[in-house]
Structure 1
Amino acid sequence: MLKLNIQNETSRLRAVVLGTAQSNGTIPAIKDCYDPKSIEHVKAGTYPLEEDMIQEMEEVAAIFKKYDVIVYRPELINNCNQIFSRDIAFVIEDKIIKSNILPNREEEVEAIQYLWNQVDPENRIILPDECHAEGGDVILWEDYIFIGTYSGEDYPDLITARTNLDAVIAIQELFPEKTVKAFELRKSNTNAKENALHLDCCFQPIGNDKAIIHKNGFLIESEYEWLVDFFGKENIFEITKDEMYEMNSNVFSISEDVIISEKSFTRLNTWLRNNGFTVEEVSYNEIGKQEGLLRCSTLPLIRD
């Protein structure tokens, strides 16, 4: 049996699902893209190539190996984008929760069924059909569960709106001893710089008491200010609109003091090192063209 344990975003990682870029399929048609950044790159002829993305993901796999992290990969589905394992499920405490993902991505979930089957049946959670949730919107921080959501009336029209209030309520009911705090995110189907696809695209806690944040990703200023107060202004790295677009908040913590980051994030990586973090730099720019980065492509299963 697989004994899951995730209490926060930064405790020492022991086991993770890393997505795969193999057999990623052809360049999608615009109508088949899930986000505005992918559409930009399809139109510009700069959509990432499979061999480049495979190479980028292998760099991350090598860092996990260096830190003795057990790495699981999804079973391979031919011609399917399986990079973003964070979307398909997420772990809270000792429970794995299956995402009610965009319907045409259901087979991605089946590719980790072999792991699901290793978890004690009472710790496998399938949310009711009306609850939509993706792991990128769920951030654990000890007694808190932070959840990105969108409650506008145009929710059904926004392919970028991934987690709804029904899911927020369901997660609160599953974990009554936790404080669940929802944040309304800015959504756009057409402008990647005005779109926070998930909460981890505009916010992520790091270390023991710090966070990376982008103000404009939050629709309601007071919710953004609550986070700034919670972590303390001196502990926050504010990213610009361009840095959010490049996914600067979507780094990934191996432990409280080791972070995997994109090598081009020079301002962030300098700040991290100045604050005592070890930064493991990788090339992940091609994967970033699909509006997802390091946290999006990893699904942590066990942390200390």
Structure 2
Amino acid sequence: MALPSPELPDSAGTDGLGPFLEGGDVLVLGKHVFVGRSGLASDNAGHRWLAKYLRPQGYTAQQVLLEPHVLHLDCAIGLVREGLLVVCEDRLPQGIPVLLRDWDRVTVTEEEAEALGTNGLSISSDVYITDPAFARIGAELIRRGLTVEYVDFEISRSLGGSFRCSTQPLTRID
């Protein structure tokens, strides 16, 4: 099943009605799915469609509000492993989602988040890939027992995407 084709803006420039749902706004944590919404990408109609589609399989979908300048949820939160996340709390006007509030966190600055510092790739519960530009974030993850692999992704990041954008992982098998 695919997301229905969205109603697009008309020639008068009015906004379409969606649904809009973009991969960077979707973070999967077991049977719980977080869907970001800033007004730039995924919208309420996309969230409602996903929630309705996933409900019969036992999933819940929770909308997470983002500041208006943030393109996607993975530009504010990165799920590293169960109990550990990287996050730029300044990008979350309602704070970290309740389900994640007790997790250990590596706090990311607005500048690091703008450069996609939350958009690394967790390839197992023990190994995380990020750009060498985020050595400070990597050092915090190493301090928490992870192996951090650095891959220069500067050119891709300059075009607006990083590791998670390049892979769109839905599940990880350890």
TM-score, normalised via structure 2 length: 0.84
Q: Which runs of 4+ in 1 moved over 4 A?
A: none
Please say if residues 185 and 199 of structure 1, whose CA atoms lie closer than 8 Å, have aligned partners that are also in contact.
yes
Which residue identity lines up with residue 4 of structure 2 in the other structure? L
Q: Report the counterpart of residue 71 of structure 1 in structure 2.
A: none
**Aligned equivalents of 2:148, 2:124: Cα separation in 1:** 11
Please say if residues 28 and 171 of structure 2, whose CA atoms lie closer than 8 Å, have aligned partners that are also in contact.
no
Q: Report the counterpart of residue 139 of structure 2 in structure 1.
A: 270
Please state if 1:147 is matched with 2:35: yes
How many residue pairs were aligned?
A: 160
List aligned pairs for 1:177-216, cutoff 5 A. 177-187=58-68, 195-216=69-90
Query: Which one has more relative contact order, counting CA pairs under 8 Å at least 6 apart?
Result: 1
Q: Report the counterpart of residue 167 of structure 1 in structure 2.
A: 46
List aligned pairs for 1:212-251, cutoff 5 A. 212-218=86-92, 220-221=93-94, 224-227=95-98, 230-232=100-102, 235-251=104-120
Deviation sequence 1:132-154 (CA, Å, 0-9, x none): 1110000000121000013xxxx
Instruction: Name structure 2 gaps, 5 residues minimum.
Output: 7-17
- Tell me which of 103, 108, 125 is aligned to 1:256: 125
TM-score, normalised via structure 1 length: 0.49
Please say if residues 24 and 168 of structure 2, whose CA atoms lie closer than 8 Å, have aligned partners that are also in contact.
no
Please say if residues 3 and 19 of structure 2, whose CA atoms lie closer than 8 Å, have aligned partners that are also in contact.
no
**Aligned equivalents of 1:237, 1:205: Cα separation in 2:** 11
Deviation sequence 1:56-90 (CA, Å, 0-9, x none): xxxxxxxxxxxxxxxxxxxxxxxxxxxxxxxxxxx
Please say if residues 127 and 167 of structure 1, whose CA atoms lie closer than 8 Å, have aligned partners that are also in contact.
no
Please state if 1:136 is matched with 2:17: no
C-alpha displacement of 1:290: 2.1
- Identity %, equivalent residues: 24
Instruction: Name structure 1 gaps, 5 residues minimum.
Output: 1-123, 156-160, 188-194
**RMSD of aligned Cα (Å):** 1.8
Deviation sequence 1:271-299 (CA, Å, 0-9, x none): 11111111110111121112221111113
C-alpha displacement of 1:206: 0.9
Please say if residues 149 and 162 of structure 1, whose CA atoms lie closer than 8 Å, have aligned partners that are also in contact.
yes
**Aligned equivalents of 2:147, 2:172: Cα separation in 1:** 18
Give 1 or 2 for the bigger CA radius of gyration: 1
C-alpha displacement of 1:301: 6.6
**Aligned equivalents of 2:65, 2:49: Cα separation in 1:** 17
**Aligned equivalents of 1:212, 1:301: Cα separation in 2:** 18
C-alpha displacement of 1:162: 0.8
